[in-house]
Structure 1
Amino acid sequence: MDKDDEYTVTPSQRQSAPFFLSGFLAQSCVVAICVMIGLWMGVYSSHPGLDWTDTFHRLHLHPFLMVVAVVFSATEAILIFRMLRTISKPTVKAIHVFLHTATLALVGTALAAVIKSKNDLKFAHFYSAHSWFALIVLFLYASEYVAGIIVFVLPTRCISDTMRQNILPFHKFFGLCTYVFALITIGMGVFDFLESIVGTSAYSNLGLQARLGNAICVILLILGATVVHILTRSTYARPSTSDSLFEPEPL
């Protein structure tokens, strides 16, 4: 073997390290945010706890379930085609649909929790920018979900592969935009939650709650940037395989 050939690095090898580092960073952010919101709502809040029977504990379920839905379930759903590179595309597609379905189920439960809690506390509904953003994002997400089922899950006798390929870029673009909007909405929700418990006291009196909330927002930014990087870098795309339902990879 020629000595120069021994140390030749292929383009795929050059991309593997940044790809896996980006994936590791994204997954680390997911774990960190989910753990922090669980600790905040379940341990360190003014009325710590997560259950449906107590009004305040039920109210805490709203941010907790929303974070699990978007930060965990939705993130894994949109990354799965690039992260699970050795699993057949039909299998990955089934997991993709399941995770998006779980996201909507968690979001629905979170909405029910906050509405019931606010009814019990006689608080107004949907008056903040956060709640308006949330309704818009929910509409966009549900629309993406329904469109994705119709276009990419129904048999080809209903939707041809050619039409799927034409629609796919729009599905990917609007899916990623909706995901970023959802992360922004969560950040707004964290701010609203902190503002609601500060009242007229000094922000510094919140102590660990403020630090947890601020840290969550910072990590949300890192997560969003990392996910966008992974999904928009063409060299990170899933390798072509013979088991693909059609060649381009969906978001």
Structure 2
Amino acid sequence: MAPVFYLFYMLCLNLSLLCVLFVVTWNLYWRGGFAWDGSLLHFNWHPVLMVSGLVILYGNAAVVYRIPFTWKQRKLVCKLVHAGMMFVALLLSVLGLSAVFDFHRGFNIPHLYSVHSWVGLSTVLLFSSQWILGLVGFLLPYSTPWIRSSLKPVHIWIGKVILVFGLVSCISGINEKLLLTLNGMIAVPYSTLPVEAVFVNFLGILIVAFGMSVFGILFVKKWQRPEDGPESTHLLLSEGTP
């Protein structure tokens, strides 16, 4: 069982690295680099932060409980790692939203005019609510076993929904960016598939493949962490793996 899992997990990690490498390279090589000054380069942080946080780090945090070598660790440790990774993913997502809103204000561009922006903002808001729900339901010592057992399936289901929304947000955002930028360059419109378009289309494929690898790990029941005995509520966390 473990060798097959680790093949999937290594695929997931390699796709993670490729996605981050592709989105950074795109914005460094073709879009001019990065700045946090309200210029055109300010926007370039948006795709990098959203792909890295809302998809890649979020997806890796979702499969932490499935890694066999972590099963020998106390559930307390796994919960803290999971919650910490999710918090960093949320922080990167919020910074990514800040980058695009700052850019829009600087160039007097209307906010929230596209389907991409609506889905993206909804995803981050749902993610924020999910993290707070997990904190209250699973990390605070006064949470009762009944609350944890009732909350667990909801927490898992919403977590998967957020990952789907994150994938949709990133793919639609990449396509929107290519349409807006390349169609403004008469010599190389998007429809002629210039090198940048081909490269970024591959980025989209990598993001979809990463999402599939994460869901592939999550849907195999035998890769779920075995249930442990109750933990002491004096250690901050309570029983019930989200």
TM-score (norm 2): 0.89
Higher mean alpha-carbon deviation, 125-134 vs 195-204, is at 195-204
Instruction: Quote the Cα distance in structure 1 between the aligned partners of 2:25 and 2:195.
Output: 10
Opposite residue 101 of structure 2, the aligned amino acid is I
Provide the residue aligned with 1:67 in structure 2: 51
Find the partner of 1:194 among 164, 175, 178. Answer: 178
- Distance in 2 between the 1:205 and 1:53 partners? 33
Give the structure with higher Rg (CA): 1
Q: Among 69, 76, 85, which residue is 2:60 paired with?
A: 76
Give the letter for the 1:215 counterpart. F
Mean alpha-carbon deviation: is it higher for 24-33 or for 220-229? 220-229
Counterpart in the other structure of 2:71: 85
Change (3 A) 1:215 1:86: farther
Amino acid at match of 1:73: L
The equivalent residue for 1:176 is 160
Aligned identity (percent) is 25
Within 5 Å, which residues of 2 pair with 1:46-125?
Answer: 48-53=32-37, 55-83=39-67, 84-125=70-111
The answer on whether the counterparts of 2:38 and 2:102 sit within 8 Å (CA) in structure 1 is no
2:216 is the alignment partner of 1:232: no
Residue among 235, 246, 249 paired with 2:241:
249
C-alpha distance after superposition, 1:79-101 (max 9, x if no partner): 11112333321111111111111
**Is the Cα contact below 8 Å between 1:240 and 1:247 reproduced in 2?**
no
Measure, in 1, the Cα distance between the counterparts of 2:239 and 2:87.
24
Return the match for 2:196 from 209, 218, 225: 209
Gaps in structure 2 of 5+ consecutive residues: 232-236
Would you say the 8 A contact 2:138–2:238 is kept in 1?
A: no
Residue 162 (structure 1) aligned with residue 149 (structure 2)? no
The root-mean-square deviation of aligned C-alpha atoms, in Å, is 1.9
Which secondary structure does the structure 2 equivalent of 1:85 belong to?
helix
Paired residue type of 2:41: H
| Cα offsets for 1:190-228 (capped at 9, x unmatched) | 001101102253215662321222111111221111111
Q: How many pairs align?
A: 232
- Does structure 1 conserve the Cα–Cα contact (< 8 Å) formed by 2:50 and 2:92? yes
Shift of 1:242: 4.5
Whether contact under 8 Å (2:60, 2:214) holds in the other structure is no
**Worse-matched range after superposition: 235-244 or 98-107:** 235-244
Instruction: State how far apart, in whole Å, the 1-side matches of 2:72 and 2:17 are.
Output: 23
Q: 1:247 to 1:104 in 2, by over 3 A?
A: closer
Residues 1:248 and 1:147: Cα distance change in structure 2 (over 3 Å):
closer
**How far apart are 1:165 and its partner, in Å?**
1.5
**Matching residue's letter, 2:108:** K
